[in-house]
Amino acid sequence: MLQAALNAFKLPDLRRKLLFTLGILVIYRFAASIPVPGIDQTAFNDLLSKYKIFQLLSLFSGGSGGFSIVSLGVYPYITAQIAIQILLPVIPRLEELSREGEAGRNKLNQITRLCTIPLAALQAYGQGVLISNSTSLIHNFGFFGGNLWSTLGFMTVLTCGTMFLIWLGELITEGGVGNGVSLIIFAGIIARLPTYVGSALSSGNLTELVALGIAGILIIAAIVFVQEAQRRIPVQYARRVVRGRLTQAQSTHIPLRVNSAGMIPLIFAFSIVTTPAIVASYFQPSHTNWVKNVADFFVNTFNQGNAVYWILTFVLVFGFTYFYTTVQWQQQRLSENLQKNGGFIPGYRPGKHTEDYLNRVLNRITLAGALFLAIIATLPFLARPFYGSNNSLPLGSTALLIVVAVVLDTMKQLEAQLMMRNYQSFIR
């Protein structure tokens, strides 16, 4: 990995792309330090340490830490992307666009960006209500009984911050190296690492720090192993006539990944499992006793200190891994494309038999990927007997999964760029 990075810096065009990517990330971190007008950052940091839900939203939104103009991060955009992907097989027009090549993908991206705006505005309003109900950071917030212009200004600032980050991410994707949106999340997580290390060193517990370091290395190794694991299905292509010429028979393979869903099931599961507590917190200040009691029940039940929260997280991550993998698999139509191109799996007839075989293999290997993701998601709860409930581990495993996945994807793209230039020099 280090050798590939050094080789990339030796090439002028790749060096320019890497420096461009770093420059965009610096701009993002600068924007993350600009606070929202009228917010007491010290009081918000106290709120962040008190309510774990804000830490979780900060993680998936890009981890800006303080309440800055980009506090929503790219989370609304990720939500819109997931929704569009799920709706592809449901809405015929969207499915047609996905088959129209580059023009269709550009149209889908435009639809995704348009859907991001109302989602970002809705999330900004929800966070404003949650903060105003929990503390006195925001006064007179809301459309009913609050300051209308102050509420609209708050929502506009955060929504514009999200769209600004999406624009930065697209700049990285087009002119830099790696997926821009993923790198935005990656930079937000990594930026908090010095704070975590500093707090651990200041505690003076060297044994605990070493144990956490060893546990982190083992988790990273397990993540890399599962992320790169794949089942290779052999495929044969028979001789056929192409443009009047007889081609030779070929042998290749189909790489079926153990974790085809990536980190999407985690985002799905955490979004759903945290929603009841967020919605219920809106009704906690109610003066009606039964409404307040019901709200308190949901807030306490769906709290990270409750076992119900983690059991539901495990079940949802497991289920969403299968669901998202199935959705992606159906969109690929692999058995149909193999049959059209004259390919077949030895021992299985093309068509229905091949499709059934691939589905069986995919279901078996996805079981390992789903269990792995579910264990990673609930690792903070499983590790409590060793590290306690007040340790900084609760976001560690999920953050490590995101970081490792982004690094692996970026390095693959970098190595592909290097390989392409090697082939160009060979041809010349």
pLDDT for 283 equals 76
Name the range with the highest mean pLDDT among 167-171, 201-205, 264-268, 331-335: 167-171
**Above 60 in pLDDT, residue 331?**
yes
- Provide the pLDDT confidence category of residue 395 given band limits of 50, 70 and 90: very low
Beta-ladder partners of 257: 230
287: its two tokens: 């003066």
pTM for the structure as a whole:
0.76
**Above 60 in pLDDT, residue 419?**
yes
* Span 15-29, pLDDT tens digits: 888 889 999 999 998
Rounded Cα–Cα distance for residues 376 and 262 (Å): 12
Beta-ladder partners of 35: 68
How many whole angstroms from its chain centre is CA 50?
24
Number of H helices, E strands in the chain: 18, 5
Look at strands 245-246 and 241-242 and give their pairing. Answer: antiparallel
**Above 80 in pLDDT, residue 160?**
yes
Buried b (16+ CB within 10 A) or exposed e, 117-131: bebbbebbbbbbbbb
Closest CA to 222 of 66, 37, 368, 17: 368
Rounded Cα–Cα distance for residues 227 and 401 (Å): 9
Rounded Cα–Cα distance for residues 61 and 47 (Å): 17
* Span 72-87, pLDDT tens digits: 888 888 888 888 877 8
pLDDT for 166 equals 92
Q: Give the residue, 382 or 201, on which the prediction is more confident.
A: 382
406: its two tokens: 């982004």
With contact defined as beta carbons under 8 Å apart, do 41 and 152 qualify? Answer: no
Q: Which DSSP category does 62 fall into?
A: T
**Which strand (E) or helix (H) includes residue 236?**
strand 230-237
With contact defined as beta carbons under 8 Å apart, do 70 and 76 qualify? Answer: no
